[in-house]
């Protein structure tokens, strides 16, 4: 318990110094604001619903992009994982596309879809595809070969083999890739909003900064950090509580 409390020492000291410095006029009010004002601004944004609406918008884009990225990543990853020949053929092309930074897609997505949810989803899914794809390949490779032999012996059709043998056996590992991609998705969604998409939490921060509301800007920053932290905790819990069950048997 004492260990937990010690973690609070530095943040509390920093916030206290911040408040004192701002009140004494040492810190510039138009950039630093002060913790008490930030708390008030954050409270008002929470009450009038603007913060929650922005949060919903950001998470909507992040989750849709994640779902799209996961679908593509799992599909390609399973195919490559099951067939080394296929990997030799399309692997090099994928390796060439992968280093393209997702944010470089932003102007292209804007050109195609204009502002809004769809362009953000496109950028997010491009970023979210890779961790899932890579993990899926290794997960499918690690499936007990005897399981695949059984599927062959039972003369299962490819789709059924996929749904009943391959995916359940690889799911626990794929979940790790999805968790990585999920945090990437949130980061990319906020980034797209900060760069140019007029919606969500990132845009809220930009507007607060440009309309000289440093208190609101800091409140939104803290909120984004909190939402990101909560999201990660949630994913970890889902992974531990629920998906670990599949690990028995299927994956070595």
Partner 1 sequence: MKPRALGLKLLALLFAAALIGLWQVAADARLVSPVFFPSPQRTLAALVAMEERGDLWRPMAATALRMFYGWVLASLLGVLLGAAIARSGPARAYLEPILEYLRPLPASAIIPPAILFLGLTSKMAVAVISFGALWPVLLGAYHGFRSVDPQLAEMAAALRMGSVSFLWKVALPSALPDIFAGVRVSLAIALILAIVTEMQSAQSGLGFNILMAQRSFRSPELYAGIIVLGVLGLCTNQVLLAAERRLLRWRTLAR
Distance CA 238, CA 228 (A): 15
Distance CA 192, CA 109 (A): 10
Return the range that interacts with partner 1 (CB under 8 A); candidates 16-24, 46-54, 140-148, 219-227: 219-227
Q: Which residues are CB-neighbours of 9 under 8 A, at least 6 positions away?
A: none
Alpha helices in 142-250 (DSSP H): 145-153, 158-161, 167-195, 200-210, 214-241, 247-250
Site for partner 1 in 90-109 (CB under 8 A): 90-93, 96-97, 99-108
Q: How far is the CB of 250 from partner 1 (least distance, A)?
A: 28
- Find the binder of partner 1 among 47, 229, 244, 249 (CB under 8 A): 229
Is position 175 an interface residue for partner 1 (rule: CB under 8 A)?
A: no
Of 46 and 195, the one with the shorter C-beta distance to partner 1 is 195
Token digits of residue 183: 């945090």
Q: Which of 84, 48, 124 is nearest to 132 (CA)?
A: 124
- Find the binder of partner 1 among 1, 8, 24, 159 (CB under 8 A): 8
Q: Cβ distance 174 to 74 under 8 Å? A: yes
| Number of residues counted as binding partner 1 (CB under 8 A) | 56
Q: Which residues bind partner 1 (CB under 8 A)?
A: 3-4, 6-11, 30-31, 85, 88-93, 96-97, 99-108, 110-112, 183, 186-187, 190-191, 194-196, 201-202, 205-206, 208-209, 214, 217-218, 221, 224-225, 228-229, 231-232
């Amino acid at each position: 318990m004492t260990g937990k409390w010690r973690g609070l020492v530095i943040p509390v000291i920093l916030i206290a110094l911040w408040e004192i410095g701002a009140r004494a006029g040492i810190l510039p009010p138009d950039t630093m604001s002060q913790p008490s004002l930030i708390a008030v601004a954050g409270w008002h944004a929470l009450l009038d619903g603007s913060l929650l609406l922005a949060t919903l918008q950001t998470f909507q884009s992040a989750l849709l992009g994640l779902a799209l990225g996961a679908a593509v990543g799992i599909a390609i990853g399973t195919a490559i994982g099951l067939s080394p020949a296929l990997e030799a053929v399309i692997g090099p092309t994928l390796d060439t596309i992968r280093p393209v930074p997702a944010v470089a897609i932003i102007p292209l997505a804007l050109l195609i879809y204009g502002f809004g949810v769809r362009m953000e989803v496109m950028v997010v899914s491009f970023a979210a595809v890779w961790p899932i794809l890579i993990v899926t390949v290794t997960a499918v490779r690690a499936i007990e070969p005897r399981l695949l032999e059984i599927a062959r012996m039972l003369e299962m059709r490819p789709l059924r083999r996929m749904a009943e043998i391959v995916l359940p056996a690889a799911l626990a590992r794929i979940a790790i890739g999805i968790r990585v991609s999920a945090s990437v998705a949130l980061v990319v969604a906020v980034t797209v909003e900060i760069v140019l998409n007029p919606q969500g939490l990132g845009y809220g921060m930009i507007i607060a900064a440009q309309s000289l509301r440093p208190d609101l800007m800091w409140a939104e920053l803290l909120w984004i950090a909190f939402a990101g932290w909560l999201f990660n905790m949630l994913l970890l819990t889902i992974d531990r509580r629920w998906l670990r069950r599949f690990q028995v048997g299927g994956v070595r």
